[in-house]
Amino acid sequence: MRYFYLTDPGKVRDHNEDSVIIVKNSSGNHLLAIADGMGGHSAGEVASSIAIGYLGRHFKESFQNLSKIDAVNWIRDSVDEINSLIFQHEKTHPESKGMGTTLVMAILTDEYLLFGNVGDSSGFVVKDDKLHKVTYDHTLVNLLVSAGELTKEEASVHPKKNVLMKALGAASEVDVDIFDCDMDISQILLSSDGLTNMLEQEHICKVLLGPGSPEEKVVKLIQKANNRGGTDNISVAYLTRFEEGESE
């Protein structure tokens, strides 16, 4: 098991509102998480750091040998708590009004793999040498695509493609999508939309299936996104369950 994570401001933004983490707890379980913050006066950076800071601490302290059902409840409770923490911060910091963040996470144990998602940061797995998107983007255009009112091609260039329908801090209550994923996978990738808006899925897959260490692959993905314009902050969390050349 090897992993690496990195965040980059990109080529256009003057600061980075993304936060990212990979944590291994004392039971040998892994948590990967990315938060993409939003809001003026650096409020987005604060919201994303609240989310990732809480998750990292809470995972180490409380996620110990949980059943899959308990893990699902742990994800829901964690998201509720993060949402409350962001609201509390807004109340005491008026300049942060309107702050919020996306959140995507993956929890890998010996028994199960779960993803949790709010917003438009993405979770992927590699299975049978193919990259599969696990999560669903909570965006206006994705809702319109699901309703048959837009094609995927139209959605990719729609002027409101970045309008979120759901985010942490946007409402007093939030529902997190939870996905129970097949364990027969070789790699896990999380990313903010700064990566997926710049690179097609097939280009991401080519990097992940190519040579190099986890660090080299993550750096290469960010470099490619920046070469395509780097219009947003870019964050990547990557884990491979097998060493290069090791049989699955």
Transcribe 4-72 into DSSP letters: EEEEE-TTT-SS--EEEEEEE-TTS-EEEEEEEEE-TTTHHHHHHHHHHHHHHHHHHHH-SS--HHHHH
* Confidence label for 247 from pLDDT (cuts 50, 70 and 90): very low
Supply the pLDDT for residue 248: 43
Phi-psi region of 98 (alpha: psi -120 to 50; beta: other; left: phi over 0): left
3-class state of residue 227 by DSSP: helix
pTM: 0.93
Total length of the chain: 248
Pairing of strands 2-8, 30-38: unpaired
Under DSSP, the state recorded for 128 is: T
* C-alpha 64: how far from chain center: 22
Name the nearest CA neighbour of 123 among 47, 244, 226, 20.
Answer: 20
Pairing of strands 30-38, 18-24: antiparallel
Q: Average pLDDT, stretch 88-103?
A: 90
Are the C-beta atoms of 35 and 78 separated by less than 8 Å? no
* Confidence label for 177 from pLDDT (cuts 50, 70 and 90): very high
CATH of 2-136+164-240, one of 3.40.50.300, 3.30.70.860, 3.60.40.10, 3.40.50.970: 3.60.40.10
d(CA 39, CA 41): 7
* C-alpha 138: how far from chain center: 13
- Flag whether pLDDT at 225 surpasses 70: yes
- Flag whether pLDDT at 40 surpasses 70: no
* Confidence label for 100 from pLDDT (cuts 50, 70 and 90): very high
Are the C-beta atoms of 133 and 67 separated by less than 8 Å? no
Residue with tokens 């990738």: 189
Supply the pLDDT for residue 163: 81
Supply the pLDDT for residue 241: 92
